Structure 1
Amino acid sequence: MGEGLELPDLFPGFATQRISAGGTDIHMRIGGVGPPLLLIHGYPQSHAMWHRVAPELAKHHTLIIPDLPGYGQSSIPPLSANHAAYSKRSMAKILVSVMETLGHTRFAVVGHDRGGRVSYRMALDHPERIERIAVLDILPTLEYWQRIDRAFALKIYHWAFLAQPAPFPENMIANAPRAFLDHTLASWTGDKSLASFSEEALAHYHAFFEQSDRIAATCEDYRAGAAIDVDHDAADQEQGRKIKAPLLAVWGNMGIAQGAETPLDTWARWAEDLRGKGLDGGHFVAEENPGALLAELLPFMTSRGGD
């Protein structure tokens, strides 16, 4: 963040740590007791999005809550022609390395939005590391691109906009970054407002999103999502590779993942051991409906085997 900038502490009692992996310094909050659980945020947010569910989860798990490369307070990998540094494969590898540095060779993971894409890529690329995985309001990247029609394109217009060559989308956003961020957040909620977000969390989101180099990093994330990430997904499908760890899919009934097929129909093509449920609200289930999310996450994370 900007030098000297003070942001609200949304995780009182949690440690703050930075770990270097793959040439990137990852900022994270760590707290709680029990088996390790990695929480990965999405766009256009930061680790702050977990603040409403972290206190209860921390009673049962040691939580590791990072900012993705380029987001929040983590360092910013350079942009490149193939966008490889922002591929979900690269981000997953970095976070696996971070977890290993912390002493966690096996762990559970929960990912929302872009963090959900990092999570399922992690489960496909590093199956020996992942005990359980939960994905919040997403479908696999390849599936989104394959199903885009008029209605879905309007719903996820940002996928094509943010993936345009640099610096077009970042320059457009930088003209009014707060307005763009607030519109994006509100438009993806169930009630189309900012009411679900605390002022403290919004302070975190605004602070990082008003930095031009971080806006560029988030666009690069989506360029990877329109190119190299699709290639990685397609290779898995062609080879019949599936996620082996038990997978919980949770989505907002008014969120982005809901479509003609139910999300479970789609995830069944990608996971061997699957369950899931839609919750009241929109895309930001951890902030719009934290109680209902916890009611799904806690029993899933503490159960064993395929129950």
Structure 2
Amino acid sequence: MHLEITGRQDNAAPTLVLSSGLGGVAGFWQPQLAALNAGYRVVRYDQRGTGRSAQPLPADYSMAMIAAELAQALAQRGIERFGVIGHALGGLVGLQLALDYPERVERVAVINGWLRLHPHTRRCFQVRQDLLLHVGVEAFVRAQPLFLYPAEWMAQHQPRLAEEEAAHIAHFQGRDNLLRRLNALMCADFTAHAARITQPVLAICSQDDLLVPWSCNAQLADALPNAQQIAMCWGGHAMSVTDAEGFNSLLLQWLNRNETAPQRAAS
């Protein structure tokens, strides 16, 4: 698995693992690096089956498997304790890690995530799946920004969107991989296990998210024993990109309030 480690490298630096959404690649977090590198050891990675971690995924791929392979990759690099900042799918990975490796996960920030899949979100995923299966990769990629960004932001960033579209088509993760990752995401349900996630959790959403209703954020926070809920007014599903300054400020405030003890040196 491709990992990138930036920021502080001293033994006292807390580690933050940044986990992307369905796209899966480390580049999603570029708007957060300057804000986080000064105080943390920051780990970004390309999820298995995407980007520079490209390989075929098993037919029975699951959220538990996604979490386990990340936990293993971090352990191989001597990273035993860490916090997780995750967007959508990446946030669910953080929750799964908190369940399966509670001694290793210090805290989790879930960005536009959910406790269980909302019917509206399921419909959106089914539309995207139909585009991929019945129209093609180009249509799937072209529709993606509609679910990520507010309309006015898209109108003001057409050259950027064109560059992203070309890159996503050129480096597409593959139909089977995407469908297996999407199925793992849609099947994830933390309803019966939320009470076991006792680490501090930030549940942060954008109220104008087209993909995930912001009520999902409140439902998630209410189900967790130690969660803080924040709702941004604007930014869409990818508000960490469209309003990076506002998002980064809220994230850093939460991290500072839930600071962890210094880590032991990596072996």
* 1:223-262 alignment, distance < 5 Å: 223-227=183-187, 229-230=188-189, 233=190, 236=193, 241-255=195-209, 256-259=211-214, 261=215
The one-letter code of the counterpart of 1:73 is R
- Which of 19, 22, 28 does residue 43 from structure 1 map onto? 22
Contact 1:245 1:273 in 2 (8 A): yes
In the alignment, structure 1 residue 56 sits paired with structure 2 residue 35: yes
Q: Quick one: structure 1 residues 187 and 62, their matched pair in 2 at CA, closer, same or farther if it must change by over 3 Å?
A: same
**CA displacement at 1:77 relative to structure 2:** 3.4
| Contact 1:46–1:205 (Cα < 8 Å) also in 2 | no
1:70 equivalent in alignment to 2:49: yes
Determine if contact 1:120/1:133 at 8 Å carries over to the other structure. yes
Counterpart residue number, 1:285: 239
Structure in which a larger fraction of residues adopt helix: 2
Distance in structure 2 (CA, Å) of the matches to 1:199 and 1:88: 35
Moved more, 28-37 or 106-115: 28-37
Q: Summarize deviations over 1:117-161 as a string: whole Å, max 9, x none.
A: 111111111111111110001112x2x25xx2xxx2xx5424335
Deviation of 1:184 after TM superposition, in Å, equals: 1.6
Please name the residue that 2:175 is paired with. 215
Which residue does 1:183 correspond to in 2?
Answer: 143
**Residues matched between the structures, number:** 254
Q: What CA deviation, in whole Å up to 9, does each residue of 1:29-88 have, x standing for no partner? A: 2100121110001123521111011111111111110011112221323332xx23xx11
C-alpha distance in 1 between matches for 2:140 and 2:44: 25
Question: For residues 294 and 78 of structure 1, do their structure 2 counterparts lie closer, same or farther at Cα, with a shift above 3 Å needed?
Answer: closer
Identity %: 20
> Is the Cα–Cα contact under 8 Å of residues 40 and 66 in structure 1 kept in the other structure?
yes
Residues 90, 113 of structure 1: alpha-carbon distance in 2 compared, 3 angstrom cutoff: same
**What is the RMSD computed on CA atoms of the aligned residues?**
2.8
Aligned to 2:265: none
Q: 1:222 to 1:297 in 2, by over 3 A?
A: same
> Superposed, which structure 2 residues align to 1:79-90 within 5 Å?
79-80=58-59, 83-84=60-61, 87-90=62-65
Residue pair 1:52, 1:286 contacting (<8 A) in 2 also: yes
**Rounded Cα–Cα distance in structure 2 between residues aligned with 1:201 and 1:88:** 29
Q: Distance in 1 between matches of 2:89 and 2:196?
A: 19
Does structure 2 retain, via aligned residues, the 8 Å contact 1:162–1:222?
A: no
Structure 1: distance between partners of 2:257 and 2:133: 47
Corresponding residue of 2:125: 159
* Deviation for aligned residue 1:266: 3.3
Matches within 5 A, 1:76-155: 76-80=55-59, 83-84=60-61, 87-140=62-115, 142=116, 144-145=117-118, 148=119, 152=120
Cα distance, 1:107 vs structure 2: 0.6
Compute the TM-score of the two structures, normalised by the length of structure 1.
Answer: 0.73
Cα 1:77–1:69 shift into 2, 3 Å? same
Distance 1:285 1:57, change over 3 A: same
1:251 and 1:43 map into 2 onto residues whose CA distance is 17
Please show how residues 200-211 of structure 1 align to structure 2 within 5 Å.
Answer: 203=163, 206-210=166-170
